[in-house]
Structure 1
Amino acid sequence: MGIIEALDETSSKAVKTGEDYVQTSKNYFELKVFQQLAILSTAGIKLAIYAILCTLGLIFLAVAGAAALSSYFESAALGYLCIAGVFFVLIGIVYLLRKKIENNVIKKLSENYFD
């Protein structure tokens, strides 16, 4: 009878240990998901704020630059065309560097995700 009771007690402890492990693992993964969501959402919000402010700054800078160039060239159209050309050059540079930008973004995300 002692052996059966010992087996029953041992199996009960094993079941309890298994349940504790499953619960601990579940809690860990919930916290990991929360951490990733927090990182992603704060990065997204910061990116949106930076993008809005940079866009506003670029608009004012472009208008001021175009006005200055218009005064210099004595032609409003030429001033605005020069500023448009600068933006197209910047777009071309970003297009040429797109793979490098993508690799940096993936590297940064993987550092946060796989830590």
Structure 2
Amino acid sequence: MSIFESLNNSSDSGVDKGKKYVNATYEYYKLKAFHTLTVSFSTISKLLVIGGLILIGLMFSSVALAIVLGDFFESVALGYLAVGGIFFVLGIFIFLGRKQLDKSIIRIMSNKFSK
């Protein structure tokens, strides 16, 4: 009977260790998901705040540049048109370089997920 008791004790020990492993793995992935969500939310929040402030600054700078160019061209409409043209050209350059931008973003994100 001692062989059966020994096997029973061994199987009980294996089941207990398996439960501990499953619980530890569950807690790890729960913590990992919390970490990923926290980092993502923090990044998005910072992006919105900093991006909003930069956008407001860019708007004021654009209006000021349009006024200066309007004085230079002696026509406010031409000043605003010139600033619009500058943004149009910048938009075209960014559109042409979008694949390089995608590659950079993928490289940065793959480094974050590989950690």
Q: Could you say which residue in structure 1 is the equivalent of 2:79? A: 79
Cα distance in 2, alignment partners of residues 33 and 4 from structure 1: 43
1:93 aligns with 2:93: yes
- Gapped regions of structure 1 (runs ≥ 5): none
- Cα RMSD between the aligned structures? 0.9
Question: Who is 1:104 aligned against?
Answer: 104
- Answer 1 or 2: higher relative contact order, Cα 8 Å, separation at least 6: 1
Find out whether 1:32 has 2:35 as its counterpart: no
The CA deviation at 1:109 is 1.5
Match of 2:3 in 1: 3
Deviation at 1:114, TM superposition (A): 2.3
TM-score under structure 1 normalisation?
0.96
Moved over 4 A (4+): none
Please identify, of 73-82 and 100-109, the stretch whose mean Cα deviation from structure 2 is larger: 100-109
Unaligned runs of 5+ in 2: none
- Identity %, equivalent residues: 37
Tell me, yes or no, if the aligned pair for 1:70 and 1:79 is still in contact at 8 Å.
yes
Q: Return the alpha-carbon distance in structure 1 between the equivalents of residues 41 and 104 of structure 2.
A: 19
